[in-house]
Amino acid sequence: MIYFASFLSAMFVTMALIPPLMRSAEWLQFVDVPDERKVHTRPIPRIGGLAMAVGAVLPVALWLAASRAVSAYLWGTAIILAFGVWDDRKNLDYRVKFLGQLIAILIVVVHGGVAIHSVPFMESSRLPAYVSIPLTVFALLGITNAINLADGLDGLAGGTTLLSLMAVAALAYIVDAYALMVVALAVMGSILGFLRFNTYPARIFMGDGGSQFLGFSTGVLAILLTQRPDTPLSPAIPAMLLGLPILDTLMVMVLRICDGKSPFSPDKRHIHHQLLALGFDHYEAVFLIYVAQALLVVAALFLRDDPDSLIVGTYVGFCAGVLLFFQWAASARWRARPPGGRPPASFLARNGRWPGQRRRLANYAFFFAAFTIPGYFLLAVAQAAPVSAGMGGLAAALGAVSLFLYPRQRRQPFGAIERAVLYVTCVLVVHLRQTGGDFAHMALYENIYMAMLAAAIMVGFRFSSEGRFQVTPLDFLVIFLALAVPNLPALHGSRIHLGAAVAKAIVLFYGVELVLNHLWRRWDCLRLVSYVTLLAVVARWVLSS
């Protein structure tokens, strides 16, 4: 339960903090003003990193036992966030930024014991301290700045880091590194909470505070995961997990040096800039980078036990493929579409009756989700095993929060807190469904229902006329997680079928979103469903105690 709790509480806190931070950003002078290097054309708050860091750190501080590594990570995060937020407000000189990063890294290296003891092809030889410590400092500085420099499009740094952390969490589960898994899930939850406000067109940026926090956290976790004395994982795995940001940073710096410029001078040579120059739009560029990072992450998971030569060779081949593609595109003057061009409309889009058909299909999808999700909730609770004290207490607390908010939110759209409560209710239902009760005779019917609900969600995505409900790269990212997690190696034997539980929870999340965005003024219907479900869980708890 601590894994779900760390993920959901981080997402909940991040989503709750972002709206007030957005409102106060101009007063606090945390606003990103567009210039010739920026893609956006209007001032946007850049204080989302503060919400992410608080959301991720809170469950780690609450639920992980105090240790040198955890303490050092928390102090290092505080330092790097402080300098990052300071930079977002004052645009610090890069040397001051490096000083903050160096202090944070030295804390985790010296006090926390984070160190690179072995390198690829030399696992049998333990590096001496005078080599290990400088190498670790250099690696963490590089990873932190690689994620920072990759933060150039809406949702880009958050999405690629989310994919890397998914692999970190899965590998931590495989090698029984449960503390690392809790931290990885907490940071993942904060990223998902942030991305709902950051996907194109973004309403808030994470800023340097957020991107440096993500780079620092991912680097520390990757080193701790692969440098444990008893781990079977190759020390080459971090190169795969962080491969695209590393490639992007090295490529840009080499090009700058070749032009006689400082490697830290700003320009538009990053991978995302080159994709935009080739005619891909913002949405397509982010999606393509997600796909590339996902390929690396999946390869890292399946190659985790293979020789270093195969892992390093795979990564080098990937990097060569990316570089050759851009070289070919430049020499052949290839473009995805001409400047200002748009893809031609399809036959169905040109059909005169198609607008009416779209609305009808979207309505069918909505009504299917609106009538079946409440039934699934109540059936799962009714047939579940006796509810534990932890689950019952959580349901009671969520119900109390919902009832407290009801007088203010009655007949109004769901706010961030109510949405988070509804998401947690979905997870409660899935947890009850997976961990107890006799559901063997219903497994086939449940799988059929989940497939039908997923189909209805895809129809709703595609054909909804609501401007508030559009497909974004985040949606593809979450769908990838739903498809990938159940098929991750070594997760099939889990007693609670973790992968299936995650997939079902994500399908329910999107089903709830479909209903929420079509209910118009009938918001209280879904509130009633949430209250009744939570009340039923509390009642099962009381009766079973």
Whether residue 336 lies inside any domain: the answer is no
Using DSSP's 3-state secondary structure scheme, residue 538 falls into helix
Whether residue 330 lies inside any domain: the answer is no
The last residue of a domain, from among 192, 221, 243: 243
Class of residue 100 by CB neighbours under 10 A (exposed 0-12, middle 13-18, buried 19+): buried
Position 364 scores a pLDDT of: 84
Whether residue 300 lies inside any domain: the answer is no
- The Cα 110–Cα 55 span in angstroms is 26
- The Cα 27–Cα 330 span in angstroms is 45
Residue range 323-364, pLDDT digits in tens: 999 999 889 888 877 665 555 443 334 444 444 556 777 788
Position 436 scores a pLDDT of: 60
**Whether residues 352 and 208 fall in one domain:** no
CB proximity list for 500: less than 8 A, separation 6 or greater: 434, 486
**Whether residues 356 and 232 fall in one domain:** no
Q: How many domains does the chain have?
A: 2
Whether residue 318 lies inside any domain: the answer is no
Whether residue 305 lies inside any domain: the answer is no
Element spanning 32, H or E: strand 31-32
**Whether residues 391 and 508 fall in one domain:** yes
**Whether residues 215 and 357 fall in one domain:** no
The residue segments making up the domain with residue 488 are 347-544
- The Cα 330–Cα 497 span in angstroms is 48
**Whether residues 106 and 219 fall in one domain:** yes
**Whether residues 29 and 156 fall in one domain:** yes
- The Cα 258–Cα 392 span in angstroms is 63
| Residue 260 zone, left/alpha/beta (φ > 0; ψ -120 to 50; rest) | left
Number of other residues whose CB lies within 10 A of the CB of residue 232: 10
Straight-line distance from the first to the last Cα atom of the chain, in angstroms, rounded to the nearest whole number: 19
Whether residue 273 lies inside any domain: the answer is no
- The Cα 359–Cα 19 span in angstroms is 32
- pLDDT, mean over the chain: 80
**Whether residues 97 and 234 fall in one domain:** yes
Position 355 scores a pLDDT of: 47
**Whether residues 234 and 352 fall in one domain:** no
The last residue of a domain, from among 224, 243, 262: 243
Whether residue 134 lies inside any domain: the answer is yes
What letter would DSSP give residue 1? -
What percent of the chain is predicted at pLDDT more than 90? Answer: 19
Position 474 scores a pLDDT of: 57
Residue 478 has pLDDT above 70, yes or no: no
Q: Region 479-497: what's the mean pLDDT?
A: 53
The last residue of a domain, from among 194, 222, 243: 243
Whether residue 256 lies inside any domain: the answer is no
- The Cα 506–Cα 482 span in angstroms is 6
Number of other residues whose CB lies within 10 A of the CB of residue 357: 12
- The Cα 32–Cα 29 span in angstroms is 9
Please name the residue that has the structure tokens 């060779």.
Answer: 313
Q: Which of 271-280, 336-345, 377-386 comes out lowest in average pLDDT? A: 336-345
What letter would DSSP give residue 486? G
Contact in structure between 514 and 456 (CB atoms under 8 Å) = yes
Contact in structure between 471 and 461 (CB atoms under 8 Å) = yes
Element spanning 45, H or E: strand 44-45
Q: Region 100-116: what's the mean pLDDT?
A: 93
Position 472 scores a pLDDT of: 56
Q: In Å, how far are 151, 374, 406, 434 from 383, measured between CA atoms?
A: 47, 14, 29, 11
**Whether residues 380 and 494 fall in one domain:** yes
| Helix axis angle, 178-198 to 2-28, nearest 10° | 40
Number of other residues whose CB lies within 10 A of the CB of residue 425: 24
Residue 292 has pLDDT above 80, yes or no: yes
**Whether residues 131 and 11 fall in one domain:** yes
Residue 516 has pLDDT above 70, yes or no: yes
